[in-house]
Amino acid sequence: MATSGESANDLEDHITEPLNEIDQLRKDKAQLEGDVAHLLRHDQLTGLLNRSAFVSRVDHMLATMDHNSQKGAMIEIGVRGLPRIAGSLGRHVGDYAVSALAARLNTIREDSHLVCRLDYWSFALFMPTIGDPLEVLTKAKTIIAALSQPVDWIDRKIKLEVGAGVALTSASDSEAATLLQNVGLALKAATEKGGPGYGFYNPAMAKASRRRADVLLALTETIEKQTMSLHFQPIFRASTGELVSFEALMRMSHPELGVISPVEFIPVAEESGLIGRLGAWALAEACRVAASWPPHITVSVNISPDQFYSGTLLTDVHNALELSSFPAYRLEVEITESTMLKDSDIVMAQLASLRDLGCAIVLDDFGTGYSSLSYLWKFPFSKLKIDRSFVHALDTAPLMKGMLKSIIDLSRNLGLKITAEGIETDAHVVALREYKCDFLQGYLTGRPATETDISSVILKNFAESLKPKLELSKVIERAAMSA
């Protein structure tokens, strides 16, 4: 009831004002809840869905799909170089580039597609319905083309490398997590091999990935139990058959997986960061063993490109030499073209330090990669090792004779010594001797063997050197006669 002086309207105001406030509070709360829910589902930088929201929405879509009549696809888009941009120009520039790419991706996607930011350098797109696999491939190519366009930053153009991995939905793999794993493997395969930058997942990739995981576990155990070993393969002077060097090669045998080739475990060690420890061990072990050999015999150790970026390579070499009192001039360091590929100052400076220390630097596997002549003048190598594929091609490709001869002549003119790898037949010996190759290494002249077994190789070669005719010369004569 209205008191004196207060009108009925005033009373109504008294009642409705608090009600309006409650209403407003309710709206604010709903808005706040909406904002929080949005924040929880979206990436703050790009506004795209975040990984967990993407996963649950894709899972929901997959669960309600009829896999017999409907095919969907997922694409993971990886942007290489983003961490490098963030590292060199600053995180804010990296963030700016990520936002620019996200905006482009958003304009390419169709309404039915889901797009998310997976992590700092990758995005994912889910297409719930596709006509045929070609449609996804076209989409992947469109995305790569759009995202590869440089991003403008003040007066700079930031160029990023973009790759895409594609996987199709199937009734058996109808979980977002599986699809994400598959697109990740497809992306890795597509960008690793320097191919077109996009590729489809196939089940062999999952098999290879499981094998890599097994090898990694075996490698970790081998390191822990200290059961890795080094074998040594002899290298002979081509003209006289004199034993001049051994190449140290890692050997790994696991109780369950058996013998695993370095061709398989070295890349796993590189990928997992274990190569630093293994490489340091190989250097120390090679110097320890070689310290007991006659003083004219050198040892060569393979160094992975990653060791140059570990920051400990020079210390590892110093320690290995010092621990065994082994002179640096008897240690040869073998690197491959992939080490030179990045043309990095970091690599060049360390190579120069190793050379100044007295180590010989050898370019290994010449002929397998780009075989770029630029490596030969960019760094003063001591030796070049011609890959065994070139030597084996002598048997079948007539052109190879001229090619090998030219490589050897060119290397000699640059002051390099040449070793030919993969010598397996008498004919190889004859040919390479004729081309004036300096050193020979291969199964014919000696397989890699244990520390104990090679002592007999050393003794035998020493005894042979006392005879007027050398074993290798005999091989050469025998082959020349039968030619």
Catalytically annotated residues: 421
Whether 179 and 169 have beta carbons less than 8 Å apart is answered as yes
Binding at 448: pick from Mg ion, ligand C2E, none (beta carbon under 5-8 Å per type): ligand C2E
Phi-psi sector, 311: left (phi>0), alpha (psi -120 to 50), beta: left
Do 198 and 140 touch, CB atoms closer than 8 A? yes
- Pick what 312 binds: ligand C2E, Mg ion, none; C-beta below 5 to 8 Å, kind-dependent: none
In the bound state with Mg ion, the residue whose beta carbon lies nearer, of 184 and 367, is 367
- 249 is a contact residue toward ligand C2E (CB under 6 A): yes
Residues numbered 296-315 forming contacts with Mg ion, rule: CB under 5 A: 302
Of 306, 365, 426, 438, the residue at the interface with Mg ion (CB under 5 A) is 365
428 binds ligand C2E (CB under 6 A): no
Report in angstroms the alpha-carbon separations of 37 from 31, 32, 52, 53, 476. Answer: 10, 8, 13, 10, 80
Site for Mg ion in 334-363 (CB under 5 A): 334
d(CA 72, CA 167): 9
Among 104, 174, 262, 403, which residue interacts with ligand C2E (rule: CB under 6 A)? 262
The residue from 2, 323, 349, 443 that contacts ligand C2E (CB under 6 A) is 443
Q: Is residue 81 near ligand C2E by the rule CB under 6 A?
A: no
DSSP, res 449: B
Indicate the length of the chain as a whole number: 483
Nearer to ligand C2E by Cβ, of 199 and 367: the residue is 367
Residue 365 binds to ligand C2E (criterion: CB under 6 A) = yes
Contact 209, 192 (CB under 8 A): no
- Name the residue nearer to ligand C2E (CB basis): 173 or 364: 364
Cβ 258 to Mg ion, closest distance in Å? Answer: 23
Looking at residue 414, its amino acid is L
**DSSP 8-state class, residue 37:** H
Question: Closest distance between ligand C2E and the C-beta of residue 209, in Å?
Answer: 21
User: Which residue's entry shows tokens 């993407």?
Assistant: 54
CB 185 within 8 A of CB 165: yes
Is residue 185 within 8 Å of residue 209, measured between CB atoms? yes
Q: How far is CA 4 from the centre of its chain?
A: 88
Based on CB atoms, which residue is closest to ligand C2E, 249 or 299?
249
Answer yes or no: are the C-beta atoms of 348 and 380 closer than 8 Å: no
The binder of ligand C2E chosen from 261, 272, 312, 450 (CB under 6 A) = 261
Q: Of 71 and 385, which CB lies nearer to ligand C2E in the complex structure?
A: 385
For the beta carbon of residue 470, count every other beta carbon within 10 angstroms.
18
- Tell which one of 442, 454, 472, 476 touches ligand C2E (CB under 6 A): 442
367 binds ligand C2E (CB under 6 A): no
Helices 262-272 and 203-225: angle between axes, nearest 10 degrees: 80
- CB nearer Mg ion, residue 441 or residue 461: 441
Return the range that interacts with ligand C2E (CB under 6 A); candidates 6-14, 130-138, 143-151, 421-429: 421-429
CA 369 to centroid of chain Cα atoms: 14
Question: In angstroms, rounded to a whole number, what is the distance separating the alpha carbons of residues 262 and 264?
Answer: 5
The whole-angstrom distance between residue 240's C-alpha and the CA centroid of its chain comes to 40
Site residues for ligand C2E, 296-325, by CB under 6 A, read 302-304
Binding site for ligand C2E (CB under 6 A): 233, 249-250, 261-263, 266, 282, 302-304, 334, 364-365, 388, 421-424, 441-443, 448
Binding site for Mg ion (CB under 5 A): 302, 334, 364-365
